């Protein structure tokens, strides 16, 4: 068994040496009573020289092949491109910016449009001069009663269920004209 193993080991060493011989040069097979069979690139490297037999190993041409050009693979088709997110917009539809609310008690309507439509967990909140007017709602119109005389900035905010603003309209400035009582 060990003799077969040593033959196998010699064969493996020979294969390694033979495969690298084109680069290294000549290979020699040395048979020695003490060392057994040895493959080397120097014939005088093993044994005492008197009891060894040195043979040059005739090497065959190496089996080589040119690399094959890899085919160009077609571009991978994605299942479907991710849809581009639609920006959330809120616009105040009425009153127009710089509108004047005529003489009267300071009552007027505000309406807005949203794109895309509100999700089930979203609400709209109207603010006037930075203060909320009523509670967040799903409707897109409000009625303001008794606004004081002077300029007011209106903003409609799109909010999430947690109350975080996800989009808001540009401010719309309105001017309310109300009669005032002059005291003399």
- With a CB cutoff of 8 Å and minimum separation 6, the contacts of 67 are none
Q: Model confidence at 64, in pLDDT bands (50, 70, 90)?
A: confident
The yes-or-no verdict on residue 1 having pLDDT over 50 is no
Q: Model confidence at 22, in pLDDT bands (50, 70, 90)?
A: very low
Distance (Å, rounded) from C-alpha 154 to C-alpha 143? Answer: 12
Q: Output DSSP code: residue 44.
A: T
Edge to edge, what strands does the sheet with 141-144 contain? 89-94, 108-115, 141-144
Q: What angle do CA 11, 14, 17 make, to 5 degrees?
A: 155
Domain 89-176 classification at class level? mainly beta
Answer yes or no: pTM beyond 0.75.
no
Distance (Å, rounded) from C-alpha 142 to C-alpha 145? Answer: 10
Distance (Å, rounded) from C-alpha 127 to C-alpha 131? Answer: 5
The yes-or-no verdict on residue 8 having pLDDT over 70 is no
Distance (Å, rounded) from C-alpha 88 to C-alpha 113? Answer: 11
Distance (Å, rounded) from C-alpha 58 to C-alpha 64? Answer: 18
Distance (Å, rounded) from C-alpha 84 to C-alpha 71? Answer: 34
- With a CB cutoff of 8 Å and minimum separation 6, the contacts of 132 are 125, 126
* Residue 159 structure tokens: 């909010």
Distance (Å, rounded) from C-alpha 168 to C-alpha 90? Answer: 6
Phi, psi of 64 (to 5 degrees): -125, 160
Domain ranges of the chain: 2-57, 89-176
Mean per-residue pLDDT, 67-93: 70
The yes-or-no verdict on residue 71 having pLDDT over 50 is yes
Annotate 45-81 with DSSP letters as a single string.
SSS-SSSEEEEEEPPPPP---PPPPPPPPPPPPPSSP
- pLDDT tens digits, one per residue of 94-122: 888 999 988 788 899 999 988 888 999 99
């Amino acid at each position: 068994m060990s003799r077969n193993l040593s033959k196998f080991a010699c064969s493996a060493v020979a294969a390694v040496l033979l495969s690298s011989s084109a680069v290294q040069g000549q290979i020699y097979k040395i048979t020695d009573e003490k060392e057994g069979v040895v493959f080397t690139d120097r014939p005088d490297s093993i044994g005492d020289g008197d009891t060894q037999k040195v043979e040059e190993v005739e090497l065959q041409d190496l089996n080589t092949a040119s690399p094959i050009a890899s085919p160009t693979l077609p571009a991978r088709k994605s299942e479907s491109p991710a849809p581009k997110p639609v920006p959330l917009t809120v616009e105040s539809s009425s009153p127009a910016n710089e509108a004047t609310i005529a003489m009267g008690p300071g009552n007027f309507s505000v309406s807005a449009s949203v794109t895309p439509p509100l999700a089930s967990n979203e609400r709209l909140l109207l603010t006037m001069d930075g203060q909320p007017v009523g509670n967040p709602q799903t409707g897109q119109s409000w009625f303001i009663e008794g606004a004081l005389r002077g300029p007011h900035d209106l903003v409609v905010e799109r909010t999430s269920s947690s109350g975080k603003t996800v989009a808001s309209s540009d401010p719309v400035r309105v001017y309310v004209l109300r009669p005032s009582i002059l005291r003399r």
